[in-house]
Copies of this chain bind each other. A is one copy, B any other.
Amino acid sequence: MTNSNLTTKAEEILKAAKFNCTKAQVLLLKELLISDKPLSREELIQHMGQKCPDTVTVYRILERFCERGLVHKVYLQSRAWKYELGHNCTTKQCHPHFTCSDCGETFCLTGSSLPLIKDLKKGFVIHRQQVNIDGLCPACS
């Protein structure tokens, strides 16, 4: 996809979700669109290079995106939160993630899934089920 097509796509997504097409939001969304794994604030900032908005702005954009479900936080071993688009997830279930204990790399297992948990006691309402697997990746095993 050309950079210009990518920009258009990002703008369309923002409009559809009723976000303003500010430079910072478009730039950040483009990074999320081309990533094949969840990214930390730090990683996003590195990828965005010189045009990168302020750290605080990055956090605030991510928070806004999360509030409306455009983006998910993924809770992994790393101390820093990671963020990814929600588009590979069903209503109640995110695809599983695999993190290598050795090299630290995280992989999105978009092809795999587990059933939603059953037999929850009365009164529990599931919003989203996340699966995280620790282990060794092909490069490290």
Contact = CB atoms under 8 A, between A and B. Distances in A.
Interface stretch (A9-17, A26-34, A44-52, A113-121): A113-121
Contacts of A111: 119
Nearest to A76: B75
A114 B124 CA distance: 17
Contact of A117 (B114, B118, B123): B114
Per assembly, the copies of the chain total 2
Contact of A112 (B120, B123, B127, B134): B120
A77 B132 CA distance: 13
A135 B126 contact: yes
B135 A123 contact: no
6 contacts: A112-B118, A114-B114, A122-B138, A125-B135, A128-B133, A130-B134
Interface of A: 73, 75-77, 96, 98, 101, 107, 109, 111-112, 114-115, 117-139, 141
